[in-house]
Amino acid sequence: MEVPKDVQIGIIGGTGADIELQDVKKVKPYTPYGQPSDFVQVGYFAGHKVAFLARHGPGHQIPPHMLNYRANLWALKELGVTRVFSPCAVGSLRKDLDKGDFVIVDQYIDRTRKRLDTFYEGGQVCHISQADPFCPELNKIFYEAGKKVPELKKIVNGGTYVCIEGPRFSTRAESKVFHQWGADVIGMTVYPEAVLAAELAMCYATIATVTDLDVWAASCPKCGVVPIGQACPTCGGPIKPLAVSVEEILETMEHNAKNLKRLIEVAIPNIPKERHCNCGNSLLGAIL
């Protein structure tokens, strides 16, 4: 099948972020980095032509540490995509970010270890800037769209995402450190998507949808959610350590998915054809 070259908006659907397109065509763009996670679906969503790629493949078969991130981004670039939206399910590292809340991420901390995270492996050296990894124009559009979804109880404009290798969840010690760092959410997929998008001069944005409170936290009958410890740091009473389970995540995801779909429906028509950000100039001064 002929691969279209005129698709500007790409959506990488993560856990709980599947959407249905109209007039769908499945295409298989060539990439020099091997196979992407799945066929890319090209169709219409909210009246606009988009490309959708299931990050974890059909039936959610590929774990986060085994994803071919380079092939995924390259495949979208081959279709003409200049803007990538990649929502993700996350754990919360803050007391005031509860299950069901959404965060417009504007920074990340990379804690991965084994991922191929550049297209430049020799011949040319690229020192890409990641001072501000996420597209401010897309972030503003998605934040404003989120405020128009009445069922969404909270959307936060700005937050730091800790990206861990996976597929395991964090130990309590690790989670407590990330909480103490002042990070906001934790997940397994934003890196290296963000930096690879920058190397392709693409805009990149994500909405982190909170499914759990990770394991830095405990529950106090009197004080609510508190940091893990021997006792409640506020009242000194007994506490119950919180845990993360796939069952809990899936239950919350079902609720989050409805709000996320509605948010995307509102946001997509507001993305202008011309970019008014600096993402397209990301390679200027970066290549030696």
Positions marked catalytic:
212, 214
Q: CB-based contacts of 29: which residues, under 8 Å, 6+ apart?
A: 3, 36, 40, 74, 75, 76, 78, 79
Cα separation, 145 vs 148, whole angstroms: 5
β-bridge pairing 217-220 and 203-205: unpaired
Q: CB-based contacts of 217: which residues, under 8 Å, 6+ apart?
A: 95, 179, 225, 226, 227, 228, 242
- Residue carrying structure tokens 């540490």: 65
Say how many Å lie between the first and final Cα of the chain, rounded.
Answer: 38
Cα separation, 30 vs 190, whole angstroms: 23
10 Å CB burial of residue 47 (0-12, 13-18, 19+) is exposed
